[in-house]
Amino acid sequence: MEVNDRKERIRSLQIKNGRENIIKKMKTKNISLSLDSFLGIQSSKNLLESLFVKIDKLKEDKFEIKFEHSHEAAIKQISILESRMPLKDKNVILFHQNYLETGAIILDIENIFKEINWMISFSGYLKEDFDFIIVEPKLEYGICIEILEYQDTFTVWGLFN
């Protein structure tokens, strides 16, 4: 086996191991995932870049508020949103702090909302390691709580059109 083949094999095993660890964590919350529930790493990276370009281009087609970084404030905003949200049984993509090692996760939006406190923590938002981001695969709608230096920005688009 050549050195490059060996490195690629090791990298593939590391990705698979990371995904299996996430599957185990999700299972503790009664959320079923499989290895097919993950986007590829490059696809995840490209989608996230496209997401921020889209958010920046949206003008009046989005709802946006700013608040001091706080788990409670994030939960409050998401809870208000969930109570008004018409979408159920929809697959979305959840980005998390290790998405560059495993890929972003495709899961049912109801699973996110039924375990929202845990999901916010899992994403890395609580420790300010990563934003909380849920998007529809084609970016038609989404929720993004972006961590900025002095305040967080809560952005929602496409959910009530």
Question: What is the structure's pLDDT at 81?
Answer: 81
97 within a domain of the structure (yes/no): yes
84 within a domain of the structure (yes/no): yes
What's the total number of domains in the chain? 1
Question: In this predicted model, what pLDDT tens digit does every residue of 38-73 receive, in sequence order?
Answer: 999 999 999 999 999 999 898 778 889 999 888 888
24 within a domain of the structure (yes/no): no
What secondary structure does DSSP assign to 42-66, as a single string? HHHHHHHHHHHHHHHH-STTEEEEE
**β-strand partners of 38:** 105
Q: How many helices (H) and strands (E) does the chain have?
A: 6, 6
Whole-angstrom distance, CA of residue 136 vs CA of residue 141: 5
114 within a domain of the structure (yes/no): yes
Domain that holds residue 86: 35-157
Question: What is the structure's pLDDT at 90?
Answer: 84
Question: What is the structure's pLDDT at 150?
Answer: 87
Fill in the DSSP letter of residue 34: -
51 within a domain of the structure (yes/no): yes
> Which carries the bigger pLDDT value, residue 53 or residue 80?
53
User: How much is the pTM?
Assistant: 0.90
